[in-house]
Amino acid sequence: MNILRNLINENFKNLQDKFSSQEEDTVSIDLTLPGRTRGKGTFHPVMVTLQEIVDIFVNMGFAVAEGPDIEDGFHNFDALNFAPDHPARDMQDTFFIKSDRETLLRTHTSPVQIRVMQSQKPPIRSIMPGRVYRNEAINARSLAEFHQIEGLYIDKNVNFAELKATMMVFAKRMYGENSKFRFRPSYFPFTEPSAEMDISCYLCGGKGCRICKQSGWLEIVGCGMVHPNVLRAGGIDPEEYSGYAFGFGIERVALLRTGIDDIRLFYENDVRVLNQF
């Protein structure tokens, strides 16, 4: 025991001499400096815009429906009256997941309309927000991945005047009572007749600029009466029911609301940009 005690004391003294000879580390703390705080996160401007649009249509009596991002050719093309040789089916426009060209990333949220019609009986009044994918060149006005919101109303004796009234109410609530807008004839495979709604350019005040391509107008929504073939694909008799549908890109609306002139700024995650919102 004495031998063990002497060994312990000797080791303890050696360690004590070793560490006592080292200079003590000193940490300088300036107590006058402000403390480090963690900034609160905020909602992305695209998500804020999406929620505002959803709230407007929910207050107008629309329900919210969702569908899968990975779709099949029937729901994404066939049921929506796309011809077999339609350009949208090409690899240049669509991200196909399988070589059979029947499994793909949805190119619009319209397939959810078919799923709603197949699962519900009229009257149907629903909106379908979600992310969509298109094989497009990325520039100041377009992305390969973005958000859309579609709307569908099916009942007996639905007419185009109701569609125009719905779009006008939305535009005034979203952009203000003094907003100027117009309807133009257009074409979509899944609606007939079809139209597009324009709103006066937010940057130039309708005078013409590079964003509105010197026209003074920006297209914000495509719409029309649901094609009878689409109603049949959804299991609804077009002789008894009619309806209207509309759809638009969320990023385009967010550009109008924020005044940003390049859609890519939304997804570059530059804190200097996002902090403004």
Report pLDDT for 102: 84
Q: What is the pLDDT of residues 150-198, one digit of tens each?
A: 999 999 999 999 999 999 999 888 887 877 888 999 999 999 999 999 8
Q: Mean pLDDT across the chain, nearest whole number?
A: 87
Q: Which residues contact 218 (CB under 8 A, 6 or more apart)?
A: 198, 199, 200, 201, 202, 211, 212, 252, 256
Report pLDDT for 22: 61
For the chain, which domains are there? Answer: 45-177+237-274 (3.30.930.10)
Cis peptide before 193 (omega within 30 of 0): yes
Query: Phi/psi zone of residue 235: left (φ > 0), alpha (ψ -120 to 50 degrees), beta?
Result: left
pLDDT over 60 (residue 25): no
Confidence of residue 140 (pLDDT cuts 50, 70, 90): confident
Confidence of residue 254 (pLDDT cuts 50, 70, 90): confident
Asked whether the beta carbons of 123 and 154 are under 8 A apart, the reply is yes
For the chain, percent of residues with pLDDT exceeding 90:
49
DSSP-derived 3-state class of residue 92: coil
